[in-house]
Structure 1
Amino acid sequence: MQDDATGRTLTVHEPRAVPWLSVALASLPMLPFVAGAVAAWTMGGEPGQAAAAATLLWACAILLFFSGVRRGVSFRTEGGATVAQIATMTGLFALGFAALLAVALGRAGASAALLIVGYGLVAILDPVAARRGEAPLFFARLRPVQMPVAVASLVALLILAARA
C-alpha cells in the first residue's frame, strides 16, 4: 500500500477459488430458506403460514444485505463505483424492500415472486460483475451454486401461496 497526500494506492490479489470462510458464510444463510420452505409445506395451516412468512422475511433481509454488499464493494472498485454497480445495488434494494412490504401486506405470493427475481439477478449478475472487476472474483463460482438454493425454496413458497 502506498499512501500520500493525494490518496492511497492498493495492490490486491484475490483468489479465483472460493475461500473456506466464504463457503461457510454463503452456505449457512441458505439453510433457513430450505428449512422454512419444508416447514411451510409440511406443517400447513397457520403454523405453515408463519413459517412461510418468516422465510420470506429472512429472504428479504438477505437480499437487502446483498444490495449492501454490492454497494460496499463499489467503494473499492478501481476508478470508483460503476453505473452497473449502483444500478444493481438499487435494483436489489428495491426488490428486497418491495418484497418486505408485500409480506407486511399479507401478499406472500407477490413477495416470493419479487424475491425470485432478485435472487435470479444475483445468480446472473454477480458472476458478470466478478469478471469485470466489480465484485470479488470468487463470486463467479459461488453465486451460481448458492442462489439456486434460495430460488428453489422461494419457488416452493410461491407454489404454496398460489394454492392457498
Structure 2
Amino acid sequence: MLEDTTGRTIVAHEPRRIPWLDLVFGFGPMVPIAVGAAAAWYLQGQPLDYLVILVTLLYSASILCFLAGVHRGVSFRTEGGPRLSQMVTMLVLYGLGLGSLITVVTGKIVFGLSMLILGYTLVAVLDPLEARSGAVPLAHARLRPIQMPIAVISLAVVMWIQLNAPY
C-alpha cells in the first residue's frame, strides 16, 4: 500500500476460485429463504402460512438490499473509480428490495415477490458479466449463477403458494 497527500494506492490479488468465506456468507443467507419456502409449503392452508410468507419476503428483501450495498462497496475499490454500471445495478437492486418491502404494507405480496425474483435473477445474470470487467469480484462469476437460483426458486415456490392461497 502506498500513501501520499492525495490518497492511497492499493494493490490486491483477486482469486478466480470462490474463497471459502464467500461460500459460507454466500450460501448461508440463502438457507433462510429456502427454509421459508419449505415452511410455507408445509404450512399451506394453516394459520401460520401467511406469517411465514411475510417473514420470508422481508428477509429476502433485506438480503437483496444488502447485495445492492455490496455493489456500492466494491465500487469504492474499483480501478479507475466507480462505474456507471455499478451505480445503476446498486440502485436497481436497492429499489427492488425496498419496493418489495413497501408491498408488505400495501398488501401486494405477489408483486413484492415478483420484484424479489427479478432482483435475484438480475444478480445471477449481471454479476458474471460484471466480474469480467472488474466491476465485481472475479469469484462472483462462478458463485452467483449457483447461489441466486436458490433464492429465485424458493421465492417462486412462495409466490405459487400465495397465488393459490384461499385468502
Question: Structures share a fold, TM > 0.5?
Answer: yes
Measure how far apart 1:89 and its partner are: 0.3
Mapping for residues 1-164 of structure 1, pairs under 5 Å: 1-44=1-44, 45-164=46-165
Q: Percent identity?
A: 46
Q: Secondary structure at the match of 1:14?
A: coil
Name the CA distance, whole Å, in 2 between partners of 1:46 and 1:147.
Answer: 30
State the Cα RMSD in Å.
0.9
CA distance in 1, matches of 2:99, 2:105: 10
Partner-residue secondary structure (3-state), 1:67: helix
What do the CA deviations read for 1:145-164 (whole angstroms, capped 9, x no partner)? 10000000000011111112
In structure 2, distance between residues paired with 1:67 and 1:123: 13
**d(CA) in 2 for partners of 1:5 and 1:64?**
35
Q: Which runs of 5+ in 1 are unaligned?
A: none
Show CA shifts across 1:90-140 (max 9, x none). Answer: 000100000011122222211110000000000011111111101111000
Q: Secondary structure at the match of 1:46?
A: coil
**Ranges of 4+ aligned residues in structure 1 off by more than 6 Å:** none
Return the offset for 1:68. 0.5
Q: In the aligned structure 1, how far is the partner of 2:71 from the partner of 2:103?
A: 23
- The alignment partner of 1:8 has SS state of strand
Q: TM-score, normalised by structure 1?
A: 0.97
- Distance, in Å, in 2 between the alignment partners of 1:71 and 1:94 is 14
Contact 1:109 1:157 in 2 (8 A): no
Q: Unmatched 5+ residue regions in structure 2?
A: none
Scaled by the length of structure 2, the TM-score of the pair is 0.95
**SS in structure 1 at match of 2:134:** coil
Which digits, 9 at most, give the CA deviation of each residue in 1:62-104, with x for residues without a partner? Answer: 0000001100110111111111000000000100000011122
- Distance in 1 of aligned mates of 2:47 and 2:16: 45
- Whose helix fraction is larger, Structure 1's or Structure 2's? 1
